Every structure is written in structure tokens, then in C-alpha cells.
Amino acid sequence: MKLPFQIDLTGKVAVVTGAGGVLCSMFAEALAQTGAKVALLDLNEEAANAFAQEIVKNGGIAKGYCCNVLDKDSLEKAHAQVLEDFGSCDILINGAGGNNPKATTDDEYFEPEDLGKVKTFFDLDKSGVEFVFNLNFLGTLLPTQVFAKDMLEKEDASIINISSMNAYTPLTKIPAYSGAKAAISNFTQWLAVHFSRTGIRCNAIAPGFFVTKQNEKLLFHDDGTPTPRTGKILNSTPMNRFGEAQELLGALLFLVSKEASGFVNGIVIPVDGGFSAYSGV
Ligand code: NAD
């Protein structure tokens, strides 16, 4: 992978949750290329290990860990292992997150005649809504409780949360995911203020639209043709295309580098091809 620019994180320990997924495996690889020792945490141990092995094959320092970001014991266990393998955490990327079909309406607009025929707002499943809120919000708060303790003694430590476009204005169909990501942007500001008398900075990246496992079913039919939602997204993205995952790396490297962003704290950087700037008219 070619980094947009080089920063030096030699000797730093970076913990990336959700690192078995599309975006965060790439974040892990980028951080390894800056010299950081990278712990890839994921519920999917196989995926985390596979990406870690790939990094090691390319000359980086990395290891995969099985970890559930919603389970404090699992987080503590991973933390103890990372401490033993690499040392205390300097950088935490809270990447684990996602939506759930049980918290997604079938249609964008409610029509009274839809009742009983399609999944409307009234049919959203409480367990699905809880799953999405927990995964995105608690799944950011709990790892921060566990790993940020390491950072208290440091002069240069960084937490990066992953927000979304729907934190600015909610996207149709996915009220729980939209609300949970709005909570992430809010929590990013809260944490930045709370830790501001320590050496920890907390910022977030809000990706626009990137095709990954979690959204590909919403964006493409099984035969690969685009869904109407894809058309709407591209019409609302002034640059008229999906983002390339690598286009998130500049924001990541900027935010974790004290030299580049030492006085930047509590911000959410949209990387969205202009989506959040466009009124649609
Ligand atoms: P992804 O589905 O490829 O990766 C998510 C990873 O999180 C998976 O490997 C999954 O196993 C892991 N995970 C799920 N539950 C977990 C748990 N309880 N504990 C530990 N790991 C768990 O998704 P992605 O697109 O790479 O998304 C990464 C982050 O970016 C997410 O927070 C997502 O909400 C956010 N995001 C993505 C997009 C996009 O367009 N793809 C846009 C905005 C925000």
C-alpha cells in the first residue's frame, strides 16, 4: 500500500478494533507502515489473524486478537495480551461498528397502506435497535475505558473514532445506526474535552460512502447491478462516485500525528466527496 505521506510512529503501539473488516484492516496496515506495532482486534479472529499475517509478511509488526468490543472481560483479556506482546497502548482506533437489518425499515417513506405488508418503523425490532446502539456506541466507549488507561502516562496519545455521514443528517431506513453514529460524533467531543488535561487527543473520521461488506447489500443487487439507493448516493455526492478506502488514510495519518495535528482535538473530519456540504439543490 502506498501511503499519501509518511509519518513516523516507530515504537508506538496502535490498537485497532474491527480490524478484521474492510476499512480498519487497511488502517492497521497503514499504521504498520509508519513503524507502529499494531494489534488487530476483532470478533472474527480468523480475519484479524489473516490481516496481521499479511502485515508481518510485508515487514510490519502486527498480531491478531480475538476480542468482543461489547464484553469488558474480553477487552481486558486482549489488553493484557497486547501489553505482554507489544507494551502499553498509544493509539486506539475504535473501528468496530455497523448496522443490522432488524433495525432497518424496508422503505424510505411511511405509507399507511404499507402496514402489515413491509417492515415499517412500527416493526423495528427492539433487539436489533439495541444491537446497533450497543455495537457502535458502547463498542467505542468500552474499548476506550480499557485502553485509554495506558495513555494517561503519555505525552502523545490519540483516540480515533469512526463516525459517519448519518451523524450530520440521518440517512433514510437506518434510524438506529444514524442515532448511534451521531452519538459517536458527540462522544468524540466529550472525550476530547474530558481528556484535554492529559496527553490524549480524541478525534473522529466520518467516512462518506465506501462499498464494504456492511453496506454492499444496500448498494448492489445480487447480480452486481446498482440499487436505486446507489443512484441516490451518487446524485448526493458532488464528486459523483464512491470513495476509495485508501482516501481515508490522509485523515487518519494527520490525526494520529502530533507533529501534524497536536492542537487538533474533538473534531470530526468528513471524507465524503462533498456529500455533507451539498444541500441537494
Ligand atoms: P466491516 O463490516 O468490513 O468491518 C467491521 C468489523 O467489525 C468486522 O470485521 C466485524 O467482525 C467487526 N465486529 C463486529 N462486531 C464486533 C464486536 N462486537 N467486537 C469486535 N469486532 C466486531 O465494516 P467497515 O465498512 O470496514 O466499517 C468500519 C467502521 O467504519 C464501522 O464503524 C462503520 O460503521 C464505519 N463506517 C463505514 C462506512 C462505509 O461506507 N463502509 C461509512 C461510514 C462509517
- Residue 265 CA to ligand 1 centre (angstroms): 23
212 Cβ closer than 6 Å to some ligand 1 atom: yes
* Ligand 1 centre distance from Cα of residue 115 (Å): 32
Residue having the nearest C-alpha atom to atom 8 of ligand 1 = 21
Looking at residues 188-194, what average pLDDT do you find? 98
**Rounded mean pLDDT, 188-201:** 98
Q: What is the pLDDT of residue 240?
A: 95
Q: What pLDDT band is residue 211 in, cutting at 50, 70 and 90?
A: confident
Atom of ligand 1 nearest to the CA of 23: 26
Q: Which pLDDT score, from 0 to 100, does residue 158 have?
A: 98
Instruction: Classify the C-alpha dihedral 191-196-197-201 as positive or negative.
Output: positive
Nearest-atom number in ligand 1 for the CA of 24 is 26
ipTM of the complex: 0.98
Measured by CA distance, the residue closest to atom 37 of ligand 1 is 207
Annotated catalytic residue: which of 65, 109, 168, 177? Answer: 177
Q: pTM for this one?
A: 0.96
Q: What is the pLDDT of residues 220-276, one digit of tens each?
A: 999 989 999 899 999 999 999 999 999 999 999 999 999 999 999 999 999 999 999
Active site residue 177: yes
pLDDT digits (tens, 9 = 90+) for 32-74: 999 999 999 999 999 999 999 999 999 999 999 999 999 999 9
Indicate the Cα dihedral angle 128, 171, 92, 16, nearest 10°: 70
Q: Is 44 in the pocket of ligand 1 (CB under 6 A)?
A: yes
The verdict on the CB of residue 24 being under 6 Å from ligand 1 is yes
Identify the structural domains of the chain with CATH numbers, from first to last. 13-208+246-271 (3.40.50.720), 215-242 (no CATH)
> Residue 138: CB within 6 Å of ligand 1?
no
- Report residue 216's pLDDT band, with 50, 70 and 90 as the boundaries: confident
